[in-house]
Structure formats: structure tokens, C-alpha cells
Amino acid sequence: MQNLEHLLQPIKINSMELKNRIVMPPMGTGLGNRDGTVSEANIAYFKRRVQSGAGLYITEISSVHPNGSVSPSALRIYDDTCIPGLSKLVEICHSADAKIAVQLHHAGRESFYQLKKGNAVGPSALPSFVFGGTPREMTNDDIVEIIEAFGAAALRSRKAGFDAVELHAAHGYLLGQFLSVHSNRRNDQYGGSMKNRARFIVECIQEVRRQVGQDFPISLRISAEEAIKNGYDIEDMKAIVPDFIEAGVDVIHASFGTHGSPAGIIQAPIEYPQGFNVWLARKIKETLDVPVIGVGRFTDPMVMNETVKRGDADLISVGRQHLADPDFLKNAIEGHPERTFQCLACNQGCIERLIYEGKSVRCAINPETGQELLYPVQQSKNKCKVWVVGGGPAGLTAASEAARLGHQVVLFEKGEQVGGQVIVAAQAPYKEPYADWIDRLKARALQYGAQINTCSEVTETMLLEGNPEVVILASGAEQFIPSIEGTHLPLVTDAWSVLKAEVPVGDNIVVVGGGLTGMETADFIARKGARSLVLVEKLEKSPVNPLTSHGNMLNYRLKKADCRFMFNTEVKQITEDSVVLVKDHETQTISPVDQVVMAIGARPVNDLKQFLDHQGIKYYLVGDAADPRRIIEAVDEGAKAAWDISQ
């Protein structure tokens, strides 16, 4: 057992006693019913989360007013019809000997849904950084109405059985909008000085306290720094936090940034270390004698324990790790931290899927998350002999899940090690944890009883002689090298060879392909100290969205390294020391060039598909073998193949 004595200490907040210092913060799921009530999917998702053993769980945002919901499926708490569903979440949490709070929320201008309907409101008629639309400026009557809505929602929370409430004044939503000069230009008592801009939050807290009484805990989630140009900083926040405490707050949940902050700071990517943001909690603690919840991409209970031991925070907010592997604390307590899948901070399923795709929550490395109603718990009654061809993310996940469900599983990987393209990608800057995830996924598959054979390429003869009942074809993809004059020359190589250090990095380099592989390879090359670096992409812009956390960081580092981006550009010819390009119908030549790295993409490898069809062998085509895609799709398809076999 790991020594977690500080993390596992109980703590009392007002009348509420928590069994330990871990808090699961609010995380949007998109799983609610279309009327904003709690769905069966919400309940199943929450049942799995409370198995983590945290002391306090805070529900996802629950809107206090109809014009404050971020989407139709976001939970609401602005009328009594929501109470029965929310009470079910309370019962689930209490059955796990934990406490539960509901987060009271109003989106203000940060809701595409409300902006599109014309219902969005804000302190001033200033456009959203994220969505671009402009809200209606709130009148004094609107302000009174919303203050009363927060109070009524808090009372409703107590009636539903919650142990506490949290007011969401962080991340650029309505309460936080009043604090910011980027959204509040009022010239009345709610605008101007920082103290005046905080008045709306103070009055919401006062109304909540009036409605719930003195013994009911109130948390306030703040962005301790706005993390945006000309925004407020921690010193500004320290000056007004005492007003929040005086108004009735019992605990401060010290987050950071807004949805408009650069680099996706509130959903910090892999580049940020654990606890990177906890210094803000320490600053708040130095000012006030109230418990403070620290935030900052925490995944490891030992790091959490040390943070509490140092006194940087009283409690630790653990968000995305609850999605990647809710057993993280149990594994640590039982002395098996190596079994935990640590969150990769990729944001593919938890952030980007919700914000950019408008879909419900998932996790790239945990196919159970968001699919708890589909996830088979019991072993299959009809056990099969299953062969998995390929040991990338899709194949390893399929092998692990099929073995967990009781099937006789053999995985064949033609290479010397499993992991597929992830092992290559893990060589890029900051992505070492991806290789660790592959190691743990392999270990899990072996733990469940799967057999893994490396240096084993499956042939048609092997299939006939081995006679598997089901084949999961996860044979991956190969790099695509286009037909360009000069690609046969010695200076031309491919991205995988560079990342695997099979070829040395040159001095004057052209990377062809501006997708994720190309950008991460360029990032790798920049770290090696290339003299000149040009990234060529035929599209008008990179497929890597710069608004995503990792995409933003990649763009920032490459620009800082003086990487030259050439979009809407195609390679016409490669010579022994130059690259001829066509941009806007004009020919350009880059010289001198001593290395050209091809990173245009990959194509599926599924040579066995036709044979399996011909022999009538049941098979599933998953991952890159079907079509090159992200980790989240590969893992999901691998898992679902195993689940389907087990039905």
C-alpha cells in the first residue's frame, strides 16, 4: 500500500465531513435527457464514478434558469420536476459512503445553444470569445431574477438531499463574466472596480445562504486568474475573495482560466505537469482561513498526497482521471498503482467530443466511460476462440476486453513490440505517457488471460490450421508515400523513421504534411535543433485544430522554433538539395534542403480481409485496419468487437 495518509485524512466543511481529500469536480457529459432531467445513462455513469472512493462528488453543471443551459441535455435545477432524478444521484453517492454537491450554473454568453436561440444574456452586450455571438445586456430586473434563481435552485438542492452546493463562477460563465472587463463594461453598481464587478457573485452567495441556512456547505468555484490578456490576476482575486467568504462561502474551488484563454488551459494538455495550477490554491490559502480545493491535471494519488502534505491545498480536484480510470485510488491503496490507466490529457472524448462534435462524453483510453449501459460486466455464456491480428490500441483493447469476458484470446503482432503507431507517436515531445499506457494495456490483457505473440505475422495457412471462431482484424496502417518525382532520393525519409530515430535528423528540413503526424514530427525535429524547418500542407490550413489544447501548444512551439508554415502548397519535385513547390499556381524552390520527411498520412493494412470473407470466418475490422483514425475510435471499435462477440 502506498503511503497516502495526508490524502486520506477526513476534513470537515461546515456541517459536512468528508472521508478523504479527493473531490471529483463537475464535468459535462451530455448524457442528460433532452429536457435536462437525469437519464439512465447519467445514473449508470455516476454509479461507476463513485466507485473511485473520493470523499466528495460534485455533479456536472446544473442550470438555475432556462436561459442559462448550455444545451438541451445539460442538467437543470430550475424547477421541481428535476428533483426526483437528482435525488437518485444523491442516493448512489450516499450508498458509497461519500458526499455529494450540485453545481449551480448559468452559462451567460458562453452557450452556442442560447446564442443561436437569441436567449443568451450577459453583464454587457460583448461577444463571446468562443462562439462569437453577442448576448443581451442584463437589466437590473434580470440581475434580480438570476440572483433569486440561484437561491431557489440551492433550496431545491437541499430538498433533493444534496450535502452541499457549489456556485460556478469560473471559466467564463455568467458569474465569472461579471468579474471580467472582457465581458463587463457596466457603469452601474455591478461594473467598474473589481469590487463592484464581484457584487453580483456576492449577492448570489447571500441569497443562496439565506435559502439554505447557516449549516449547509457552500462552495464557490473560481478562476483564480483569468489567464487572458488584460484579464484579472491572482492579486485581484485575493482582494475580493474575503467578500465571498463573508457572504457565506465555506470552501473555495480554485481553478484557472476561461474558455477564451489560450492553449486550452482549463483542459490542460499533456504538456502541463501534475499540480501545475495548485500554486493559485496556495495563494488563496495564504489569504483566508477556509479550505481550498486545488486543481491541476492530477492523475497520481502520491502526487496528490504530497500536495496536501505541503499545504498547497486542503483538497484535490481530480477530473479527467475519473474518466480514464475511476479505480486510481483503489489501485494505489491496494499497492497496485501500475494497474491504473493514467489520463493522457488528450481531450479527445471528454472535451473535444462535447464542444466540437456536440456528442456525449467518452474517454479515448477507457471505452466504458459514457457507455456504462452498453458495457458488459458478466463473462460471456458462449466463450469463443478469438484471434486478434495486430497489437495496436484497437487490437490490445479487443484482446483485453475479450479475455475479460472469458474468451480464449491469442493476439498476434508482426512487429517486435505491441503498440502500433502509438509507440511511434510516443517519441514526440511530451508524449512519453502514451508508451506507458500501451505497457499497462498489454499488462491488463495478460492479466485477464490473453496470450500475446510478437514477431508473428498471421498467414492464411495459420488461419486454416488454427481454426479461430472469430478474428478481430486490427492490423493497422502503413505510411503513404505519394508519387512525387524524387521520392526515391536518399534525402527522402518518412515521419515514423525519424520519430523512431532510425534516421538522423538533418539540418535543413522540409516536412510534407501538416496533420498531427507532420506537426508532431516537426516538433520532434525542432527539439533536435534543425537549422531550418518548413512544414508544407496542401490544405488551406492544418487539420490540427489550433483551438484544441494540444493543437494550440503544437502551433505555439513550432512558431517559437521559427518553423515556416506553407499551406495551400503542393510538392512538385524533390531534387538532391531542393524541393520545388507550387503555391497559388506559382512555382517556388526551397534550397538548400538535406532532408525531406514525408508525413502525408497512412492507409489501411487489411490483406487478410478477402481471405476471411472467402472462408466464411467471422471477423471484425477495427482501428486503422478499417481506416486511419484517432486513438478514441480505435479503442472504441476494439472494445465493441469484443462486446459484440460476447452477446
The one-letter amino acid at 347: N
Q: What is the CA radius of gyration of the chain?
A: 27
- The string of DSSP letters for 205-239 reads HHHHHHHH-TTS-EEEEEESS--STT---HHHHHH
Contacts of 483 (CB under 8 A, 6+ apart): none
Distance, CA of 609 to CA of 563 (rounded, Å):
41
Cell numbers placing 557? 512551439
Residue 25, burial from CB neighbour count under 10 angstroms (0-12, 13-18, 19+): buried
> Quick check: 346 and 425 in contact, CB under 8 A?
no
Look up residue 426 and give its three cell numbers: 510516443
Nearest by Cα to 436 from 544, 528, 325, 527: 325
Give the helix ranges, DSSP H, for 378-431.
393-404, 421-425
| DSSP for residue 19 | S
Cis check: omega of the bond before 592, within 30 degrees of 0: yes
Pairing outcome for strands 470-473 and 385-389? parallel
Sign of CA dihedral 358, 363, 364, 367: negative
Q: CA neighbours within 13 Å on the CB side: how many for 301?
A: 32
391, 389, 387: which is closest to 422 by C-alpha?
Answer: 391
| Active-site annotation holds for 57 | no
Q: What angle do CA 199, 205, 211 make, to 5 degrees?
A: 135
**Phi and psi for 329 in degrees, rounded to 5?**
-75, -45
How much of the chain is helix, strand and coil, in % rounded to 5? 35, 20, 45
What CA–CA distance (Å, rounded) separates 388 from 271? Answer: 33
Residue type, 224: A
Distance CA 442, CA 67 (A): 47
Name the residue with cell 482484424.
473
DSSP string, 311-322: TS-SEEE--THH
* Furthest CA-CA distance within the chain: 82
CB 48 within 8 A of CB 372: yes
Angle (CA) 520-525-528 rounded to 5° is 135
Reading phi first (left if > 0) and then psi (alpha if -120 to 50, else beta), residue 471 is in beta
- Catalytic residue, chosen from 78, 173, 232, 620, is 173
The cell 489544447 sits on which residue? 549
Q: What is the DSSP string of 546-613?
A: TTSHHHHHHHHHHHHTTPEEE-SEEEEEE-SS-EEEEETTEEEEE-S-SEEEE-S-EEE--TTHHHHH
| CB neighbour list of residue 50: distance below 8 Å, 6 or more residues apart | 57, 92, 93, 95, 96, 98
Q: Are the CB atoms for 69 and 76 separated by under 8 Å? A: yes
What CA–CA distance (Å, rounded) separates 215 from 628?
A: 56
Report, as residue numbers or ranges, the catalytic residues: 173
